[in-house]
Amino acid sequence: MKMSTAPYDLEQQQQHQRSGVAASSQSPRSPSSSTPFLSVSVTDPVKLGNGVQAYISYRVITKTNFPEYQGPEKIVIRRYSDFVWLRDRLFEKYKGIFIPPLPEKSAVEKFRFSAEFIEMRRQALDLFVNRIASHHELQQSEDLRMFLQAEEETMERLRAQETGIFKKPSDLMQIFKDVQSKVSDVVLGKEKPVEESDPDYEKLKHYIFELENHLAEAQKHAYRLVKRHRELGQSLSDFGKAVKLLGASEGNSLGKAFSELGIKSEILSTKLQKEAHQILMNFEEPLKDYVRAVQSIKATIAERANSFRKQCQLAETVKLKEIDLERQRLHRSEKLAEAEREYHELKTESEQATKTFESIVRLMNEEIGRFQEQKTLDMGIAFHEFAKGQARLANDIAGAWRSLLPKLEACSAA
């Protein structure tokens, strides 16, 4: 096993990930009932509705022995906006934790219902829920339980409520963008200093922003590579057809050789198409997922900045209120009692804000280590699958062409 020297334990990490989580499309297994487990799978995409309002619904199967859940197994039907609801709720409640990313909202219209897109989305949604279910804090979430257990009508009601009170995804995006630019400003040192002065945190922010750029580039080329495989496959197929025609018109043994060449070309064309799909699912998607995860971290960074600002503002306000209170005491004002009450309220609020902020800081520190480990594992798997796929393809190609050689030898002997 050739790995660079590192105390980082891969095996342990893999075990940790798999505890109680089935990240594949089949039904989750049912392990022993003593250890607590929560295992989810997102399957069976089905197109519902008509025309513009058509959408895909998914079957979400939960297997668990958590006491709060109704029974060992439950199946519900969910759609994409339900997942969005869950993500938004978690983001609101669990500040500081990196919420697992969702696949993008919409796609080009004609592509939206293609088999490939649906499968990619299903895979991403499955990953999303499983990551939540295996996160020791997030898995305790009430909202997760609702998502996994509630009847469809309940879910619909919840979803409708949220869009009223909370923000629509598009608004969230806008907030993210605003905050992103604010955070960028902060990172770049443009804004006025209502910012933390933690150098390690600065470094982290810079790292996250840079990382997104690098990853996006890698993902872009990975996607192009998928296209290249498809194009080469198509080209080989056309070439094969033309060569076969040539072989047919030649007629003799040479003609047969041409025909064989044509047949092999067509076979290899199919293999190239298959490999293109493999690369898409096992290499490009994980890279995309990585990019989304980094974007989710950026949202958390924005949230932390908000929280910090709020904490500072409240601290300021409390100080001012304190001074005002003193003044009122000296002047024995009638408003003293009220002022005292307000002061206490503000003080509580301020303390709360500080607690929130500190909690975010603490959680982020835990999260970042876990995130790095998880990503090394995720990427390692992706790289390995990619390598295997390419090796398989190359060997198939070599084998196919080599098998032609004896036939060519026979031709020249003739």
Residues 355-374, interacting with other proteins (CB under 8 A) = 368-369, 372-373
Between CA 222 and CA 395, with CA 2 as vertex, the angle to 5 degrees is 55
The answer to the question of residue 4 lying near other proteins (CB under 8 A) is yes
Pick the binder of other proteins from 161, 181, 235, 313 (CB under 8 A): 235
Question: Which residues in 52-89 are b (16+ Cβ under 10 Å) and which e?
Answer: eeeebbbebbbbbbbeebeeeebebebbbbbbbbbbbb
Pick the binder of other proteins from 207, 320, 338, 348 (CB under 8 A): 207
Centre a 10 Å sphere on the Cβ of residue 392 and count the other Cβ atoms it contains. Answer: 14
The answer to the question of residue 142 lying near other proteins (CB under 8 A) is no
Residue 83 Cα distances to 44, 75, 80, 129, 221, angstroms: 16, 15, 5, 8, 29
Contact 48, 156 (CB under 8 A): no
Binding mask 298-317 for other proteins (x = CB under 8 A): --------------------
Map 322-357 to HEC letters. HHHHHHHHHCCCCCHHHHHHHHHHHHHHHHHHHHHH
State both tokens at 367.
Answer: 């999260």
The answer to the question of residue 165 lying near other proteins (CB under 8 A) is no
- Rg for the chain, CA atoms, rounded: 29
Pick the binder of other proteins from 99, 125, 148, 215 (CB under 8 A): 215
Q: Which stretch binds other proteins (CB under 8 A): 52-60, 99-107, 205-213, 348-356?
A: 205-213
CA distance 262 to 254: 12
Residues 51-90 that bind other proteins (CB under 8 A): none
CA distance 156 to 150: 10
Residues 13-42 that bind other proteins (CB under 8 A): 14, 18
Q: Which stretch binds other proteins (CB under 8 A): 59-67, 123-131, 176-184, 255-263?
A: 255-263
**Of 172 and 400, which has the nearer Cβ to other proteins?**
400
CA-closest candidate to residue 66, choices 28, 33, 99: 33
**Of 362 and 384, which has the nearer Cβ to other proteins?**
384
CA distance 185 to 64: 45
**Of 24 and 161, which has the nearer Cβ to other proteins?**
24
Pick the binder of other proteins from 97, 186, 261, 360 (CB under 8 A): 261
**Of 3 and 52, which has the nearer Cβ to other proteins?**
3
Q: How far is the CB of 258 from other proteins (least distance, A)?
A: 7
The answer to the question of residue 177 lying near other proteins (CB under 8 A) is no
Residues 375-414 that bind other proteins (CB under 8 A): 375-377, 379-381, 383-384, 386-388, 390-391, 394-395, 397-398, 401-402, 404-405, 408, 411-412
Q: How far is the CB of 15 from other proteins (least distance, A)?
A: 9
The answer to the question of residue 6 lying near other proteins (CB under 8 A) is yes
SS3 189: coil
